[in-house]
Amino acid sequence: MKPETRAYDLLSDISYIIRKLRHQRTLSDAELRTTSDKLAYLTEAGLNVEWLRTNLEVKKREAYLERKKRDACEARIVELKQEVKKLELAKSGLKAELKIEKAKLNPRSFRNRLLGNCFCLNT
Where exactly are the structural domains of the chain? 3-90
- This prediction has a pTM of 0.61
Contact 47, 11 (CB under 8 A): no
Across 34-58, average pLDDT = 93
Distance, in Å, from the CA atom of 116 to the CA atom of 95, rounded to the nearest integer, reads 24
Contact 46, 10 (CB under 8 A): no
Q: What is the pLDDT of residues 56-111, one digit of tens each?
A: 999 999 999 999 999 999 999 999 999 999 999 999 999 999 988 888 887 666 56
